[in-house]
Structure 1
Amino acid sequence: MRLAREHGFDKVTVDMISAEAGVSPRTFFNYFPSKEVAVVGRTPGALPPQLLDTFVAGGPAHPRTVLEELTRAIVDQMAADPPERQEVHDIFMLAHGTPSVFAALMTRFDGFRQSLAAAVAQRMGPDADEGIPDLIATVAMAAVRTGMERWSSDLTTDGSDSPVPYVERSVALLHLLLAPDHTSTRSAP
């Protein structure tokens, strides 16, 4: 990210990154298929196996409960291993201005979503509607991403605080949106 800030992402080469890291380009490619993947490498990619096992062990439940517990697991992991605000801000800013970085970031998020959907499917069992696990994972990721983007763009503090309150706020708004509306007198279609 520092090289991208100094030179512009398009001018940064794998050779420059390798030299800065003190490794050969060949070693770089052992870890990353491209400089785009290297720059988004710290974004969420998976929950730790122990956390996933605990989530799956919760067993079948109403989809709303599964969504609540999945988002709680993501927030718990974020609290245990918080990212750095400036780093996340820089990744989002770079992604918004560089299509290849945006594609790498969306690929990374989609891989995370797929791992979450697999865990939800495992938890809900074979009798669950086949579209529910993917939808739950997609909605959870949308709430997390919204909170992360809000946190990373709020640079009014020293940057040392956690994204957890921002993500929890997004998750709370999501649950509010999904709550039954008892004030409406209209019947559901």
Structure 2
Amino acid sequence: MTDAEPGLRERKRRATRLAIQQAALHVALEHGLAAVTVDEVSRRADISPRTFFNYFPSKEQAILGDDPTLPQGEEVEVFVAGGPSGDLLSDLGALLVHSARELVEERGLIGERQQVLRANPELFSRRMASMQEFQAELQTVVERRLQRDATLSGDEATADADVPPALRRRARLATLVGLAALRHAWWEWSEPGSAVHLTDELERSFDDLGALVSRSLV
């Protein structure tokens, strides 16, 4: 499922965001992390330092790039309410598709970013920390979904305000499975020669996951 063609303003925004990341990575690879400054990155990206900060809060974040984020629209509430299909894993996949749409989909950055992260473990630690934050946010949303399901089924033991350990355990498992499918899609998408859109690849990964789960239950 590919998004509609973005407008001119959005294309310019994406191009500027990409140029900043490319510039930051190139400076880091050529001269080391210490040489990466906002002024140098801005010069190479042909923007002003003020424009830089409209896109990234720091030079480190420009190197790290975008992480998945939960959508800020109605998609989360649709998921919590039991939609769009009623199947937890399928609906979790749909929610992550919305999250993945916010990523900068530029395969050319992947190899360079990995080189910089390998050379700078502190940046790798920051990337892992941000992913853990996303995992915690996603798990909270899954817990809300499971509590809603418990309320509808009349299970008072799991529908109260405090999340019971058993429900939290299931929510954590579902979250980790969903993130594993996201990683799988990312790997497949980043393979050389792949022409599939990232969100389409993510939908395929969740379809494959659903097929595997269905076979295991037969």
Question: Within 1, Cα distance between the matches of 2:69 and 2:119?
Answer: 22
Once the two structures are superposed, what CA deviation does each residue of 1:43-70 show, in whole Å capped at 9, x if it has no partner? 21222232111111227x98xx212201
Question: Within 1, Cα distance between the matches of 2:187 and 2:97?
Answer: 15
| Correspondent of 1:156 among 193, 211, 218 | 193
| Correspondent of 2:72 among 41, 45, 48 | 48
| Correspondent of 1:113 among 120, 135, 148 | 135
Question: Within 2, Cα distance between the matches of 1:136 and 1:112?
Answer: 14
Once the two structures are superposed, what CA deviation does each residue of 1:134-160 show, in whole Å capped at 9, x if it has no partner? 2211211111122112212x2325x6x
CA contact (8 A) 1:71 1:171 kept: yes
- Work out whether 1:133 is the aligned partner of 2:168: no
What do you get for the CA RMSD once the two structures are aligned?
3.5
Specify the alignment match of 1:102 in structure 2.
124
Aligned AA (1:155): P
- Work out whether 1:23 is the aligned partner of 2:49: yes
Specify the alignment match of 1:4 in structure 2.
25
Q: How many residues align?
A: 174
Report the alpha carbon displacement of residue 177 of structure 1 after superposing the two structures with TM: 3.5
Report the alpha carbon displacement of residue 37 of structure 1 after superposing the two structures with TM: 2.7
CA contact (8 A) 2:182 2:202 kept: yes
CA contact (8 A) 1:148 1:167 kept: yes
Question: Within 2, Cα distance between the matches of 1:39 and 1:162?
Answer: 23
| Correspondent of 1:173 among 208, 212, 215 | 208
TM-score norm. by structure 2 comes to 0.62
TM-score norm. by structure 1 comes to 0.70
Question: Runs in 1 of length 4+ with deviation above 6 angstroms?
Answer: none
Question: Within 1, Cα distance between the matches of 2:118 and 2:127?
Answer: 10
Report the alpha carbon displacement of residue 89 of structure 1 after superposing the two structures with TM: 5.1
Q: In 2 relative to 1, CA 94–19 (structure 1 residues): closer, same or farther, beyond 3 Å? A: same
CA contact (8 A) 2:79 2:92 kept: yes
SS across alignment from 2:182: helix
Question: Within 1, Cα distance between the matches of 2:33 and 2:42?
Answer: 16
Q: In 2 relative to 1, CA 90–150 (structure 1 residues): closer, same or farther, beyond 3 Å? A: farther
SS across alignment from 2:74: helix
Bigger RCO (CA 8 Å, 6+ sep): 1
Unpaired segments of 5 or more residues in structure 2? 1-21, 148-157
Q: In 2 relative to 1, CA 90–143 (structure 1 residues): closer, same or farther, beyond 3 Å? A: farther
Aligned AA (1:124): L
Report the alpha carbon displacement of residue 180 of structure 1 after superposing the two structures with TM: 4.5
Report the alpha carbon displacement of residue 71 of structure 1 after superposing the two structures with TM: 0.9
Report the alpha carbon displacement of residue 74 of structure 1 after superposing the two structures with TM: 1.5
SS across alignment from 1:46: coil
Report the alpha carbon displacement of residue 181 of structure 1 after superposing the two structures with TM: 2.9
Report sequence identity in percent: 21
Aligned AA (1:4): L
Unpaired segments of 5 or more residues in structure 1? 184-189
